[in-house]
């Protein structure tokens, strides 16, 4: 997608930007669409490739506007080109390491490649899969241990895999793996799933699933590659060895916020705490998406919050511009935030 001819982000290494968005998943990209359409000079920083978790999702069925579903990759590509079209500068493979409020009220966003100066910040760093920490998990990464069924599923054609967890990720990714694998063990620590009912119905109907209830993973064994997952029944303490070629762990997610400790408020699980207008305790710093302490982790929620965060940033910048006599408008203006 070609960016708008009328508008381009100024030289981002020297200019004071209107908004820097940290994270290029659905929340960050939506914030980018709204901010750049609002003619704010906007940079989106993404430590990997834009798209976040959805880029690794085979099929998204519950995002409005796509009655047949859409591949997560295609959806993220559309969001990305929409943000870039309106002038947002997307910098991929650039990780933010710190955020600092300067004495003049501007923010320095420090990355592994430099420092950007901005009037406002939108935090949308997303989440990553939680590790179980069991023996063999780290050792067999890339040799049978994976968190991405979409990426690695085809490698398990005709083979046997275990999926650990009972949430939407475990069940949906397990269903995807069942397209290739001969058998899928679903190992869950309780005897009922947490996943959405429609997802549960589908996997209960699949002849490829064997449910291993009330069990937690103990260790992953193998020689050159994964050969077995050992699980323990939490009620009987019986240990069972499942002969598998692959193990996919979906036991929850962790927000990518360790770098924000002491900078904004985080809850006891590391999610970013904001007020009702998505502002953190720092003026002009907003948070949205899966890393925000919100009640549901859904793409629709993330894009809604991304839109709101951008509108709030615009209002913040407008208020700044009004507060400073002689200051230009927020977009492309020269006013600094009050300290």
Chain residues binding ligand NAP by CB under 6 A are 62, 132, 164-170, 172, 189-190, 194, 216, 250-253, 296-298
In the chain, the N- to C-terminal Cα span, in Å, equals 39
Which residue lies nearer to ligand NAP by CB, 98 or 191?
191
User: CB of 193: closest distance to ligand NAP in angstroms?
Assistant: 7
Question: Catalytic: which of 13, 112, 151, 267?
Answer: 151
Torsion of CA 82, 84, 90, 92, to 10 degrees: 60
- Which sign does the torsion angle of CA 241, 242, 244, 247 carry? negative
Least distance to ligand NAP, CB of residue 254, Å: 10
Q: For ligand NAP, give the closer residue by CB, 179 or 190.
A: 190
Short-list 288, 277, 257, CA closest to 27: 288
Least distance (Å) between residue 219 CB and ligand NAP: 13
Q: Two tokens at 188?
A: 């869950």
Residue 60, SS3 per DSSP? strand
Residue for token pair 């999610």: 271
Cβ proximity to ligand NAP: between 43 and 301 the closer is 301
Max CA separation in the chain (angstroms): 74
- The answer to whether 322 is a known catalytic residue is no
Of 129, 62, 127, nearest to 293 by C-alpha is 127
Dist. CA 215–CA 237, nearest whole Å: 9
Selected catalytic residue, list 4, 74, 148, 214: 148
Least Cβ distance, residue 40 to ligand NAP (angstroms): 30
Pick the closer one to ligand NAP by CB: 118 or 253: 253
Q: Name the region of 334 (left: φ>0; alpha: ψ -120 to 50; beta: rest).
A: alpha
Told to judge if 288 belongs to the known catalytic residues of this protein, a careful annotator would answer: no
CB 54 to ligand NAP: min, Å: 9
The answer to whether 220 touches 229, Cβ cutoff 8 Å, is yes
Q: Quick check: is 11 catalytic?
A: no
Residue number with the smallest Cβ distance to ligand NAP: 167
Toward ligand NAP, which CB reaches closer, 180 or 250? 250
Q: With CA atoms as reference, report the closest residue to 95 among 112, 80, 116.
A: 112
Active site residues: 148, 151-152
């Amino acid at each position: 997608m070609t960016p708008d001819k009328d508008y381009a982000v100024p030289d981002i290494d020297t200019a004071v930007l209107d908004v820097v968005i940290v994270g290029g998943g659905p929340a960050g990209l939506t914030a980018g669409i709204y901010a750049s359409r609002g003619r704010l000079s906007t940079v989106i920083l993404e430590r990997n490739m834009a798209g976040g978790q959805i880029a690794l999702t085979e099929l998204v069925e519950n995002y409005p506007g796509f009655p047949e579903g859409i591949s997560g990759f295609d959806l993220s590509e559309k969001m990305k080109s929409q943000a870039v079209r309106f002038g947002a500068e997307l910098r991929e493979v650039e990780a933010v390491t710190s955020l600092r409020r300067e004495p003049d009220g501007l923010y320095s966003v420090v990355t592994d490649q430099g420092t950007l100066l901005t009037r406002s910040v939108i935090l949308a760093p997303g989440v990553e899969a939680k590790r179980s920490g069991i023996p063999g998990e780290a050792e067999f990464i890339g040799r049978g241990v994976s968190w991405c069924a979409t990426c690695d599923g085809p490698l398990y054609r005709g083979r046997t895999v275990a999926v650990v967890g009972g949430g939407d990720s475990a069940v949906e990714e397990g269903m995807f793996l069942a397209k290739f694998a001969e058998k899928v063990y679903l190992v869950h620590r309780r005897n009922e799933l947490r996943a959405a009912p429609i997802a549960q119905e589908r996997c209960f109907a699949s002849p490829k699933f064997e449910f291993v209830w009330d069990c937690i993973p103990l260790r992953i064994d193998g020689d050159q590659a994964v050969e077995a997952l050992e699980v323990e029944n939490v009620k009987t303490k019986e240990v069972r060895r499942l002969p598998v070629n692959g193990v996919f762990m979906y036991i929850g997610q962790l927000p990518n916020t360790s770098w924000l400790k002491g900078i904004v408020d985080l809850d006891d699980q590391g999610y970013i705490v904001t007020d009702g207008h998505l502002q953190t305790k720092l003026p002009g710093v907003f948070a949205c998406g899966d890393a925000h302490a919100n009640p549901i982790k859904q793409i629709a929620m993330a894009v809604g919050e991304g839109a709101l965060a951008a509108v709030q940033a615009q209002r913040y910048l407008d208020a700044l511009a009004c507060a400073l006599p002689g200051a230009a408008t927020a977009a492309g203006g020269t006013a600094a935030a009050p300290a």
